[in-house]
Amino acid sequence: MSQGPDFKQRRRVIQGAVAASALSFAPGLMAQAAPVRVGYTMSRTGPWTGGAQVSQEPNFLLWAEQQNAAGGLDIRGVKRRIELISSDDRSDVETVVRTYEKLMGSDKVDMVLPPWGSNANFAVAPLANRFGYPFLAPTALSRRLVEMKLPFFFLLLQQPKSMCDALVDMFKANGVRSVACIYVDDLFGLENYAAFKVALQGTGINLVEDKSYPGGVKDLSPVLRSIKDKNPDAFVGFTYPPDTILASRQSKEIGLNPKIFYASVGTAFPLYKNVMTPAGAEGVMGMGSWNGKTSPGAKAYFDAHLASQKKEPDRWASGACWAGLEILTAAVKQVGLDRKAIRDYVANSTHKTIIGDIRFQGSENVGTPGTVGQWQNGEFEVVWPAARATAKLNPNKSAWK
């Protein structure tokens, strides 16, 4: 596969930093501590860019920066600097697969970090298992990935059942009697919609409308007008960032303002608050799992991310991404770079992270529960379940502003 200018520039920058740091070491010591080569592909162009450049790549860069500033990644007591080897996948699944096949098959990098999104991770998961590289994926929601039982693949996010069970539990506790749902017609949307329908069974909550839409949609107003006519208590969108903002803007334009307005992915992004304005975002709910109040480590991470990357992390998958990097850091400190040993450490330990204690059952994170977040006074607060909440739920969204 040809390596474009972006690939070469990123590798050259990282290698240049390594070379500069080498001046302070004796040549013999540097020879003993070769860089740890960490490969990944990330969307820097195309429709996945918004999510990838909020939830994942900034965290990879911050992790390498922090570890290298401390002298390198601790590999069983030996510090080795991180060399990131990365390229733009252009939001294309085939490019993702070809790049990881090269990274793991011919380049034989020491470690890999995952791509963005359910579709890309679904495509690359069998490769991870074939080449024996542990993957800790922070932006994949897929029951099918869990059911594939791939021993080297781990999903950090709460999966559709857990997220939808939490959402419907919140509905029941707050008197919701009717709901309308839209969902993007791909793996993410279809699996979440299916889990949502199962969670609604036996609750008495009436699903008054459910409509799918194609990726890249430019107008959702017809289905939103239809939903407005049915006047549901709650709106649910299993949506991607551009669609989440589109649905919110068009709901505001047509006056669709149910008591509960829930959409994701993208609701937990700072971009959502900035585009809608803090007042316009007030009361909107979505998938979320943490904020700076979740733990002392979460606050330290938030501040470091802002200082290094000059932007806030999102309040959902960014936390999961950092938690995955925490787990990998602890694993190589304990067992070194043997990939099977890393895999066993990840699979058989309880991991203390900024978002809570994570443990895996097969590929699934069963340590942290599904949660609901809500914009309140400029912060995306965890509001459900109560045991995980950083603020009290407001069950009646204010009017759009």
**Confidence band of 32 (pLDDT split at 50, 70, 90):** low
- Architecture, CATH, for domain 5-159+294-365: 3-Layer(aba) Sandwich (3.40)
CB atoms within 10 A of CB 244: 26
> Residue 316: which of 59, 47, 42 has the closest Cα?
59
The DSSP H or E segment spanning 386 is none
Question: 315 and 380 in contact (C-beta within 8 Å)?
Answer: yes
Please give the Cα distance from 74 to 255 (Å, whole number): 55
Residue 2 pLDDT exceeds 70 = no
Span 271-297, average pLDDT: 95
pLDDT for the residue 22: 40
Bigger pLDDT: 15 vs 149: 149
Rounded (10°) CA dihedral 360, 365, 366, 371: 160
Burial class (CB within 10 angstroms; exposed 0-12, middle 13-18, buried 19+) of 282: buried
Of 352, 351, 325, the residue nearest 62 (C-alpha): 325
Please check the confidence at residue 183 and state whether its pLDDT lies above 80: yes
What pLDDT was estimated at residue 33? 81
Same fold, 5-159+294-365 and 160-291+370-388: yes
| Centroid of chain to Cα 267 | 12
DSSP structure string for 317-357 = HHHHHHHHHHHHHHHHHHHTT-HHHHHHHHHHS-EEETTEE
Distance CA 389, CA 369 (A): 12
Q: What is the mean pLDDT of the chain?
A: 92
Average pLDDT over every residue of 322-333: 98
Percent of residues, the chain, with pLDDT higher than 70: 92
- CA–CA separation, 380 and 391 (whole Å): 9
**Six-digit token pair at 296?**
């002392």
According to the model, what pLDDT value does residue 26 have?
40
Mean pLDDT of 93-114: 98
- State residue 17's pLDDT score: 44
Domain boundaries, the chain: 5-159+294-365, 160-291+370-388
Q: Which of 11-15, 32-36, 194-198, 253-257 has the lowest mean pLDDT?
A: 11-15
Q: In this model, does residue 23 exceed pLDDT 70?
A: no
Instruction: Collapse the DSSP code of 165 into the 3-class scheme (helix H, G, I; strand E, B; otherwise coil) and give the result.
Output: helix
Q: Going by CATH, does the domain composed of 160-291+370-388 fall within 3.40.50.2300?
A: yes
pLDDT at 393: 97
- Does 16 score more than 50 pLDDT? no
CA count, 13 A, side-chain hemisphere, 256: 28
Nearest to 393 by CA among 76, 401, 380: 380
pLDDT higher than threshold 90 for residue 29:
no
How far the first Cα of the chain sits from its last, in Å, is: 49
Are the beta carbons of 179 and 208 closer than 8 angstroms?
Answer: yes
The predicted pLDDT at position 110 comes to 98
